[in-house]
Structures are given as structure tokens and as C-alpha cells.
Chains A and B, each alone.
Chain A
């Protein structure tokens, strides 16, 4: 099986530790993962803002980069969801039947990380160790666009030493929403503030989610509030092993310059 990592533009540019964690995790599970360097962005920022023409180059780059792979794994419910459910829109807009066919094939082979682990590899115990208190936020696109259900939690439950705490109102949106976060910044912040409050109420040290974008938003609020809660991507927790201290990763706590 040829497996490609779709690192996402956000992960590539701002959160490279997440991609590295996926590589470590998958290689530990015996999966050799490629990083097709032609990849750029799934195009979702443009699609969800209404700029379909502007999304065409990104979708073409996606189709070219991942052609021929059996599985494309993304540490993002949102970007995997875009590949699966929105690339067809963009191909139709480009009036390009070949592109439409290519993205339909690729869409069916694109997996969010927890889907790939549970459905394709058939594992829930990935041999991780993370002796910290954790609360998990199910991101909207993983939950409602992809329907990952409790796959992420089933993976987290098997992590050694983890103290998993239920997040009140967990299924409610954090308010990120892509450009919504800035076009409707006041509403976005009001939603995020409630999410951050629920996170603090759990008393957990770490907030975990499967999308770096949502973590950037909630984490930005938590840091501004000096809430003392770190944010980590699901991949980083699952990649953590005994002896390897994931907290040493500077990224989740990186403070603005």
C-alpha cells in the first residue's frame, strides 16, 4: 500500500510538529509514508469563502501530487472533508471532466488520521504513552462532515497513562470556521470563549483535537487568558511514547514573538 501524507498548508507552514508526529506514528506502526512535495493546500479557504475559480489551482496541485497513491492521510478532518466532499465542486467549476474523475478517485482514498488508523490499519492501541490529563474536542468537520464518530476517543482511551476527561458541550463548534474567524470575529470569539471556558472547567492540562486550525483558535484564546492549558494535535499524543517527552515539543506552547 502506497500511503501519502497530506500535511495541509497550515500544518506545513505553522504546525510542522503535527506532520512529523504523523510520520513517527505511522512508521512505528510499520507504514512507510511518503510526502509528495507537489502538494500545497486542499483549497478549502478559497472554496468556503466563495472563491471557486481561485481554488482551481490548489485542487489541480492536489490531484497531481497524490495521483497513484492508495491512501492519502491528513491530520485534519476539515481538509480531508474538503478533499472528499468539495473537490468535485471545484472540478465542475473548472469544467474539467478529467480533474473531476481524478478528485473523485482521490476523495474516496483520502482519510482523516483517526479513520486511517481505525478503519484502514485496524488498530486502536497505537502503543502510545502520555501520562497527562487530557480533554478532547471533536472538531465539526471530523464529526459531522466525515462522521468519524468515536474513533479518536477509541484511540485516546488506549494511550498509556492518559487521564481522559469529558469536555462539556463537546460537540458544539469552537467558532473557528475558516474566514468566519475574521469576517465575523466577534461571534467567533464569543463561541471560542465558551469552548475555552468548558476546556478550563475540565481541569485538564492538555486540550486535544484533530484539527490544527481549531486548536489555533481555541489555543489563541486560552493563551490570551493565560489559562494554563496546552493544546496538542491528536497525532502528537498518539505519537508520544514512554521516554519521549512530547511536552518538550516547543510548538503547542509557543508564545507569540
Chain B
């Protein structure tokens, strides 16, 4: 169940084409994102101080990021004082190795997992599988994805691309090989599906000696990790096993306990469309006789310091993984998450992946900043005010700059030509007389077929506006 991978995914336009052809997928997505969008809009609309909350949340994150080293060292000190062991990991491999080493030290062949973006980002399940350790996902949607040998397609709802009939089939076909089988008479009723998952998972919760989690927030001054969730599976994983390993991106740090308040307000409203999430777990190191008696925290960079160095893009590190930008994005709604080739899809993924990985190296990554019409709906809903459209435009410039110097592409040559044409009105006027500029440019770019496959192209009028203005003296003659 670890065969599925984002590695080697095609560039966005190609992956999107395949996804767009799947009418079931488009139906599932339109329904699901539409529902969450509506819920979010209702609960956000209830608050008079929503804009102030957004500003405050962005400000706390910016301040934390501006002095990240200090806060991280404080976090390490407080966690250590509370009995936790802190590990630092530069990249995915180092982070996964820490978790594997803890599991090996306890001679276990399985761990139970709280839903965590960071562990998917670092490919933890695959790394553990390579060591003969099964990592069981316990979030319902993650379980569906894992059993289906599938990939997550949404930050909050990883199986958003599946409908209940597909989920039933996955449970019936795959649960038995992973533990307790699905009941013989399982139907598509959501409560029955949830109950089948509950019974299947309970065995694993009670058996596992090692739990693995991420963290939504890491409070520096108190050395506290925070997990926010809906299903209670997180609470089980965080309290029942003897050993707990938490993989935490370094940008998760929040300086003070008091500042957590803002995030616990904006996250559930933006994410699930709830006023408050059902389960909020916080823990600081080890409490004797209560919960895990061995606690590890792996602080992961994996590209975050690269993103932090990006003057425009660093605001992406404010992200609290709420997925409001995905739900409101018209591109995401039609292509789904897999087309982005990463655990971080949608608008935030279109900026976060290039920021974490760097541009100019991988065609797939370079295609992501262009996977947007720049409509700005993402910025409007972002609870930490990430100006995604501006970061997209800046990243596009970085992609173009990374390819300067070599042989210019057709697009680069055309843009250079357009730049020269627009340098003076004399040149523009000449171009207009020679050919309809827009259609002419489209032809030179080889774009006319891409436009015309489903849309009629306008024809150039007999006279440009400037020619009319000159001929009629601005309509006066």
C-alpha cells in the first residue's frame, strides 16, 4: 500500500487535462468544495472582527518568522525541560530516519498516525515501509487514501475526489489485508462506512506502541505542541501509545500561548467551516503516568529556510493548512489535487512547492506558478492573508529568469517581440496595420490552436482605435 507516489508526475497542464476528462471526479469535487465553501462563508460571516483576526494572525506569524531561530531554540529548550527529545532534520531523509530509528529502538513493525501534512511531505510512510514498518493512517480520509493505494488530493479532505460508493468498494476490497475486514453487509450509508472504519482502526489504536503525529502549532514559550482535529483519532494516537514522535515543520512555531487564541478561531472556521473543532490536543513533553512516556519532536526544515529567504514568497510560511484557498479555487475545483503533483495542491501548493523546492530545476515544479488564472479568490479567503496572486506572479518571474541565457523558447521570443512592439506607439501602430496584433501574436506564439479548440477568435476590426481617433479627431469630425 505504498506504491502511489507524486514522484514523476507530469507538468500541470498535462495532468490537468487527464483530470478534466474524468467527469465523476469533477462532479465529486464540485459538490464537495461547494459544500465546504458555503459552510465557511456562513461561519466567517458571523464574525464582525474577521478582518482584524486575519490581520492579527498574519502579524503573529510574520513576527515569529522574522525571529525564527530564537523561537525555535526556546521551543527546544522548553520541550527538553519537559522531558521530550528534540531532533533537528534538514531534509525529508533526515526526518524520516529519526522516526525509523525510534521505531527500530522499540522493535515495532507498525506505528499509528495522526493526519499530518509534514509526514506525507517527507514521504515517511514509504521510508518506514522500506524498513519493514507499517505506518497506519487513522484519519478516515487518509485511511481511504491509504487502503485505496491512492494519493491525497486535498489538504483537509485527502479523499475529496472519492464518493461514498467508491469508498465502500475500497473498504470491501482492501480492509481485510490491513487488519479487521469490512462487514459483509456494508452499504454506502455514511454512518455505516464510518463505523466500519472505527472498528478497523480501534484494533490498531489499542495495539500500537508507537504513535506518529505532526502538529498544527508549536508554542515556543511553553514548549507545547497542538493538534487540531475532528474525529478523535488524533487524541487516540496522542495518548494511547507508549511512544510518540511528532514531525513538525519549523514554520509551525507560535511565540506565546496567548497568541494561539487567534489561530484557534481562524483555523476551524476557514477549514471545516466550524466555529470550533471537536478535538484540540495540546501536550508539553512527558507527563509521568499519563500518556506517552517517551516523546520525540522532529523539527524539519526541508526547504523552509529556502522559502524564508524569498522576500516575496516567505509569507507562504504563514500557512496554517486550512485549505480555504483550495475550496474556493476555480482551477482546483475542476482539476482536483493530484494534478499539482504534491501533497500541497491548489493555490497554496502552486506557491509552496516552488518555494520549498526551488525553481528552474524541475519542469513540473516550474509549471505550478502558472496553474492559476490569478483571479484572487484565494487571497480573499486566506485567514493569514497570504497574497497568493502576487507570490504567483513573482515566482513566474523567477521561473522565466532561471531560464534566461539559454536558447530562448518560442514564448520568450514572442514576449521579447511584444516588449519591443509596446516600446513605442509608432511600432504598435505599424504592427496593427500589418496584422491584427492580438491574433497575429497568438499565431506567432503558436497559440491559436490552443485558443480556438473551443473558442472563436475575434477578427481584427478594419480600423484600430488610434487610427479612428486620428482620422476623426477624437470623434469630433
Contact = CB atoms under 8 A, between A and B. Distances in A.
A237 B416 CA distance: 36
Query: A14, A57, A255, A257 — which one has the most chain B CB atoms within 10 A of its CB?
Result: A14
Interface stretch (B82-90, B134-142, B219-227, B419-427): B419-427
A24 B475 contact: yes
A186 B423 contact: no
A154 interface: no
A121 interface: no
A177 B373 contact: yes
B279 interface: no
Contact of A13 (B17, B397, B432, B470): B432
A60 B455 CA distance: 34
B336 to A, nearest CB: 11
B375 A13 contact: no
Nearest to A43: B422
Contacts of B412: 51
SS of B interface (majority): helix
Interface residues of B, number: 71
Given A51-B419, A57-B422, A182-B451, A173 B373 contact: yes
Interface stretch (B145-153, B201-209, B327-335): B327-335
Given A37-B469, A38-B425, A191 B475 contact: no
Contacts of A46: 415, 418-419
A144 interface: yes
Nearest to A184: B13
Given A23-B475, A54-B415, A57-B422, A35 B455 contact: no
A20 B422 contact: no
Contact of A144 (B334, B379, B398, B459): B379
Contacts, number: 228
Contacts of B423: 40, 57-58, 60-61
A184 B370 contact: yes
Interface in B418-469: 418-425, 428, 432, 436-439, 442, 445, 447, 450-451, 453-461, 463-466, 468-469
A181 B453 CA distance: 11
A256 B460 contact: no
Interface string B369-382: 11111111101100
Query: Which bracket fits the contact residues of A?
Result: 35 or more
A189 B464 contact: no
B396 interface: yes
Contacts of A7: 465-466
B27 to A, nearest CB: 12
Contact of B456 (A145, A183, A184, A255): A255
Given A14-B461, A40-B422, A221-B455, 20 more contacts: A12-B428, A13-B464, A15-B458, A19-B469, A23-B474, A34-B474, A40-B425, A41-B422, A50-B395, A50-B398, A54-B415, A57-B419, A57-B424, A58-B419, A61-B425, A86-B393, A141-B376, A190-B26, A191-B330, A220-B458
8 contacts: A16-B468, A33-B474, A61-B425, A141-B376, A178-B373, A189-B453, A219-B458, A256-B459
Interface of B: 12-13, 16-17, 20, 26, 330-331, 334-335, 369-377, 379-380, 389, 393, 395-401, 411-412, 415-416, 418-425, 428, 432, 436-439, 442, 445, 447, 450-451, 453-461, 463-466, 468-470, 474-475
